[in-house]
């Protein structure tokens, strides 16, 4: 007669649920990024190091290395997240346009509001800072090392909506670069505190957006 053979019991903890494990990893990465962003706000890129990230989190510096192989990888993650927040803001306001012609001024306004309200994110995206190993980062991340195209595409979409039928004969890439450079120039001057004679971003935002719209109308 066959008898049931008892299976050996697994010792130790049961295997972790993959879904729970994924959440734990994401939470750890989020905490590390939050600590690194705090350091960046205090002293820029040079202030970010794994030792101080661990100190802020109450862990060893090796904990951060479990989730980011190097400081460069951590900086890249911060930049990607900043661009994602930026793109979401542009897209959210573009979707609010009741008419196509309203999309561009809404997106331009969202751009400048983001720079004003999130200066550290803006600096992470556009300030000139270098990776410790730029070649390795370029090999691993490609074009993402230099820029994130999704935000540029949101501006291009708003330009196309603003121009309407004229967009077919316009150079949309050139038009988008003109819009971006105008907005970036104003935002950068504001963040560098280079606006003079008592002017500030709030004073110049509306006339700057009107000038951009007028320029695009003439260009098309």
* Residue spans per domain, the chain: 15-68, 80-219
Average pLDDT score over the chain: 86
Closest CA to 172 of 185, 184, 155, 187: 155
Q: What is the pLDDT of residues 71-93, one digit of tens each?
A: 999 998 999 999 999 999 999 99
Q: What is the pTM of this model?
A: 0.83
Let me know: does 195 contact 189? Beta carbons within 8 Å.
yes
Q: Which sign does the torsion angle of CA 160, 92, 203, 116 carry?
A: negative
pLDDT beyond 80 at 24: yes
The H helix count followed by the E strand count for the chain is: 10, 0
Going by pLDDT thresholds of 50, 70 and 90, the confidence category of residue 213 is very high
Q: Residue 151 contacts by C-beta under 8 Å, 6 or more apart in sequence?
A: 83, 86, 87, 90
Question: Quick one: pLDDT at residue 126?
Answer: 87
Residue 116 is encoded by which pair of tokens? 């004003």
Homologous superfamily (CATH) of 80-219 is: Tetracycline Repressor, domain 2 (1.10.357.10)
pLDDT beyond 60 at 1: no
Fold classification of 15-68 (topology level): Arc Repressor Mutant, subunit A (1.10.10)
DSSP string, 33-66: HHHHHHHHHHH-GGG--HHHHHHHHTS-HHHHHT
3-state helix, strand, coil in the chain (%, to 5): 75, 0, 25
Going by pLDDT thresholds of 50, 70 and 90, the confidence category of residue 19 is very low
């Amino acid at each position: 007669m066959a008898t049931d053979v008892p299976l050996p019991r697994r010792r130790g903890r049961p295997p972790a649920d993959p879904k729970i494990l994924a959440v734990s990893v994401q939470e750890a990465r989020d905490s590390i990024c939050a600590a690194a962003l705090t350091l960046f706000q205090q002293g820029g890129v040079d202030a970010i190091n794994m030792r101080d990230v661990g100190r802020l989190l109450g862990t060893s510096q090796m904990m951060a290395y479990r989730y980011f192989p190097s400081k460069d990888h951590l900086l890249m993650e911060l930049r990607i997240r900043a661009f994602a927040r930026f793109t979401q803001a542009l897209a959210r306001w573009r979707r609010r346009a009741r008419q196509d012609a309203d999309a561009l001024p809404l997106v331009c306004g969202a751009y400048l509001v983001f720079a004003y309200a999130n200066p550290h994110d803006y600096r992470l995206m556009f300030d000139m800072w270098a990776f410790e190993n730029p070649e390795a980062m370029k090999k691993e991340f490609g074009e993402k090392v230099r820029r994130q195209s999704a935000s540029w595409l949101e501006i291009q979409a708003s330009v196309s909506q603003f121009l309407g039928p004229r967009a077919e004969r316009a150079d949309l890439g050139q038009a988008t670069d003109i819009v971006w450079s105008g907005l970036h120039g104003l935002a950068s001057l504001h963040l560098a505190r280079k606006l003079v004679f008592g002017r500030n971003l709030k004073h110049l935002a509306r006339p700057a957006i009107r000038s951009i719209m007028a320029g695009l109308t003439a260009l098309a």
